[in-house]
Amino acid sequence: MNKQEILSKVEVGLGKVRPFLHSDGGDVKIVELSEDGVLKLEFVGNCSSCSMSNMTFKSGIEENILREAPEIKSIIVINLTPN
């Protein structure tokens, strides 16, 4: 599977959580997908400074992406707010 096909599957996963992010004035964008399957994301809008961003990532974003695109080996959010 090529990189674009994997990114399309990632977008399907993100599409399942985006309505919730948008309702809080935020979003997430894809920064990079490396050749070894590491996906880098960035929270934008209100999500970039939200204290719940870690939980949103683990229980929503990561789960949905890995379900749709099991080719992803790991996911890094470059601006994740620490707990």
Average pLDDT per 10 consecutive residues for the chain, totaling 83 residues: 96 96 94 97 91 87 97 94 66
pLDDT at residue 76 in the model: 95
Q: Are 65 and 40 in contact (CB under 8 A)?
A: no
CA distance 9 to 48: 23
Return the CATH number of 3-77, one of 3.30.300.280, 3.30.300.130, 3.40.462.40, 3.40.50.1370.
Answer: 3.30.300.130
What are the strands, taking DSSP E only, across the chain?
26-33, 38-45, 74-77
pLDDT at residue 58 in the model: 86
pTM of the model: 0.90
Structure-token pair, residue 62:
């990561």
